[in-house]
Structure 1
Amino acid sequence: MITELTVRGARIRVRRSGDPAHPPVLLLHGIGRSLEDWDPQHDRLSADHRVISVDLPGFGLSEPMPGRVTLAALAEGVAATVAALGEERPVHVMGNSLGGAVAMRMLAAAPARIATLTLVNSAGFGKEVTPALRILAVPGLGKQLLRRIDARSAYRIERSLFHDRAHVTEERVAFALRVAARPDNARVFLETARELGTLLGVRAAWRQRLLSQVAAHPRPSLIVWGDRDLILPAAHLAAARAAFPHAKTHLFADTGHLPQIERADDFADLARLFLTAHSSAV
């Protein structure tokens, strides 16, 4: 079920599935993306979990919340959305790409609210990132690029996310164009990208600070990557292992930036085993 909630004056889009009495799992997408990136996992995890996915404030079809878009603001907005749903238990958070950084920020800000972390091709573990995001740091150029997304460029963006081009469907391209046409899309995207990165890559300062904060509040963690990721390279998995040596890790073969879609069954199998092992955390 997809609904909209008014949270801090903004309409936030949310999908919920599963029995509300079951342990809560929160799914967070990446920059420029939407809750649709987690659709396959609703079907696979909702038998024994309350599954919640959210369009981050200002992304997908959610409205931005007042103020500048920052990692902290995104995390606070998500936490407020979870509270608006009446969910007061610690949540199992799964974050893809930017969503992984948001998940870690949520843990750093309110450790008691987070049961476990599942980080999927997550931002925060290295400097390297696709040139398509680095170029947004060039003054004036980023805004022009984001305001000129057409069907061809939307296809190229979708194609960069998957190793198997069969996942680059007409429906995904059409939805990407719908999101790109929203009036606040370019501003929200640029504010986020420029806070987290520069033309040279992902900023070190926020990464180092966040990883230190998360390490101070260890939680059971699962970290996975696709070995053919063109957005955040799979080499970052080694840095993730070093930062969180207690974490369980997995590298998916022949997989791009969205393993939860491209390897939906295998991802769900890993996730269910992990969640079951740590169900007492809720």
Structure 2
Amino acid sequence: MSSTESPDARAVPVVPPARASWVSEGEEVRTVPLPGVTLAVRSRPPATAGLPPALFVHGLGGSSQNWSALMERLADRVDGEALDLPGFGDSPPPDDGDHSITAGARVVIRYLDATGRGPVHLFGNSMGGAIATRVAAVRPDLVRTLTLVSPALPELRLQSTAVPTGLLAVPGVAALFSRLTKDWTPERRTRDVFALCYGDPGRVTSEGFARAVAEYERRLELPYFWDVMTRSARGIVDAYTLGGQHSLWRQAEKVLAPTLLVYGMRDQLVSFRMAGRASRTFRDSRLLTLVDAGHVAMMEDPDAVARAVRELLGETAAMDGRSATPRG
């Protein structure tokens, strides 16, 4: 991936996507055309003008909705936007069908270059955490701070609960699973997702569950749903096997931005044991451990994550102030 990639055209917001997914009060979703992709971008107006920009990137099977709770809690500190990666949420698949981690990083870079919003406070969860890590490594000029929630960085020994998700990368498995589960209701599918992703599914409100069911039902009607899931899972597996300078761990070593790492001790998809390695690898890191959280801590305990982000932003602002003070 080129470290200087920049599209020819600047992003121009257009009308909201047809049949858009759930939009929380105070949010808006717009579509942004870029070379090779069309992105749905969720935003929440900042509490005051002039706040620093932030960008949120979701994980496998997720969408920009995953960040709504955290974006709301940080609206007085950042001007937040969350992407629907190509093929997820309200974004159609990319023209080239590439759902690799590198392709996801290119999309983020393309969007930031086109909009001129960088450097941003960059957030990523799971697959989005791997994408954000790659962006921060190859384009440090675009990233002011980095917050990673259960980032999908390579593990030599996967948890048994994560194996079924990894199997989606195997050709034919997604189609087989689709056939075997064709009689499952959206309610059952949604409960299974929450049981896998949440440390305590009981934290999900009845309203939140109903929204998730409706969203799952909408996605199942998309003709590309399983293909995108398969290609994206394969992209994660492929990224795990890359060595040398393209290794995600090698790129994590190159990240210059102050980094907040968030791990849940009840995560069934990214092992909590990776927290130690991550905190040693990212050179300027701090670690937030949540005892009762699973894979999506920003949804499960957004207040705790927001507090840690505020501390990170405060430290960064203080460092910026010191560096701007004349000496002598």
Structure 1 residue identity aligned to 2:232:
T
Q: Deviations over 1:246-278 (max 9, x none)?
A: 310011011111111111111101111111211
Structure 1 residue identity aligned to 2:305:
F
Evaluate the alpha carbon distance shift between residue 54 and residue 140 of structure 1 in structure 2; reply closer, same or farther with a 3 A threshold. same
Partner Cα distance (1:220, 1:122) in 2? 16
1:229 aligns with 2:258: no
Q: Deviations over 1:196-242 (max 9, x none)?
A: 228xxx83426971221232242211101111011112111122123
Evaluate the alpha carbon distance shift between residue 146 and residue 23 of structure 1 in structure 2; reply closer, same or farther with a 3 A threshold. farther
Q: CA RMSD in A?
A: 2.3
Partner Cα distance (2:266, 2:49) in 1? 36
Q: Deviations over 1:137-174 (max 9, x none)?
A: 33312233257564222321222111222317121122
Q: What is the DSSP-based 3-state SS (H/G/I as helix, E as strand, rest coil) of the residue aligned with 1:278? A: helix
In structure 2, the partner of 1:12 is 39
Structure 2 residue identity aligned to 1:157:
V
Q: What is the DSSP-based 3-state SS (H/G/I as helix, E as strand, rest coil) of the residue aligned with 2:196? A: helix
Structure 2 residue identity aligned to 1:96:
N
Give TM-score, length-normalised by structure 1: 0.90
In structure 2, the partner of 1:164 is 200
Partner Cα distance (2:109, 2:298) in 1? 22
Partner Cα distance (2:198, 2:251) in 1? 32
Structure 1 residue identity aligned to 2:220:
A
Evaluate the alpha carbon distance shift between residue 58 and residue 70 of structure 1 in structure 2; reply closer, same or farther with a 3 A threshold. same
In structure 1, the partner of 2:218 is 178
Query: 1:9 Cα deviation (Å)?
Result: 4.5
Counterpart of 2:242 (choices 195, 198, 205) is 205
Evaluate the alpha carbon distance shift between residue 230 and residue 217 of structure 1 in structure 2; reply closer, same or farther with a 3 A threshold. closer
Residues 92 and 114 in structure 1, CA contact (< 8 A), matched pair in contact too: yes
In structure 1, the partner of 2:313 is 275
Q: Deviations over 1:60-87 (max 9, x none)?
A: 2211222122111111112222344x23
Counterpart of 1:133 (choices 153, 160, 165) is 165
Give TM-score, length-normalised by structure 2: 0.78
Structure 2 residue identity aligned to 1:87:
G
Structure 1 residue identity aligned to 2:90:
L
Residues 119 and 144 in structure 2, CA contact (< 8 A), matched pair in contact too: yes
Residues 125 and 239 in structure 1, CA contact (< 8 A), matched pair in contact too: no
Superposed, 1:107-118 pairs within 5 Å as 107-118=136-147
Structure 2, unpaired ranges of 5+ = 1-27, 322-328
Residues 146 and 180 in structure 1, CA contact (< 8 A), matched pair in contact too: no
Evaluate the alpha carbon distance shift between residue 116 and residue 276 of structure 1 in structure 2; reply closer, same or farther with a 3 A threshold. same
Residues 199 and 294 in structure 2, CA contact (< 8 A), matched pair in contact too: yes
In structure 2, the partner of 1:187 is 227
Evaluate the alpha carbon distance shift between residue 99 and residue 275 of structure 1 in structure 2; reply closer, same or farther with a 3 A threshold. same
Counterpart of 1:239 (choices 277, 286, 300) is 277
Query: 1:112 Cα deviation (Å)?
Result: 1.1
In structure 2, the partner of 1:219 is 257
Evaluate the alpha carbon distance shift between residue 153 and residue 104 of structure 1 in structure 2; reply closer, same or farther with a 3 A threshold. same
Q: Deviations over 1:158-199 (max 9, x none)?
A: 22111222317121122123223322222222112113228x
Residues 197 and 267 in structure 2, CA contact (< 8 A), matched pair in contact too: yes
Q: What is the DSSP-based 3-state SS (H/G/I as helix, E as strand, rest coil) of the residue aligned with 1:154? A: helix
Q: What is the DSSP-based 3-state SS (H/G/I as helix, E as strand, rest coil) of the residue aligned with 2:293? A: coil
Evaluate the alpha carbon distance shift between residue 272 and residue 146 of structure 1 in structure 2; reply closer, same or farther with a 3 A threshold. farther
Partner Cα distance (1:4, 1:272) in 2? 29
Partner Cα distance (2:123, 2:320) in 1? 15
Residues 29 and 42 in structure 2, CA contact (< 8 A), matched pair in contact too: yes
| Larger mean Cα displacement after TM superposition, 134-143 or 267-276 | 134-143
1:262 aligns with 2:300: yes
Q: How many residues align?
A: 278
Query: 1:20 Cα deviation (Å)?
Result: 5.8
Q: What is the DSSP-based 3-state SS (H/G/I as helix, E as strand, rest coil) of the residue aligned with 1:54? A: strand
Structure 2 residue identity aligned to 1:268:
A
In structure 2, the partner of 1:78 is 108
Query: 1:13 Cα deviation (Å)?
Result: 1.0
Structure 1, unpaired ranges of 5+ = none
Evaluate the alpha carbon distance shift between residue 81 and residue 144 of structure 1 in structure 2; reply closer, same or farther with a 3 A threshold. farther
Residues 108 and 210 in structure 1, CA contact (< 8 A), matched pair in contact too: no
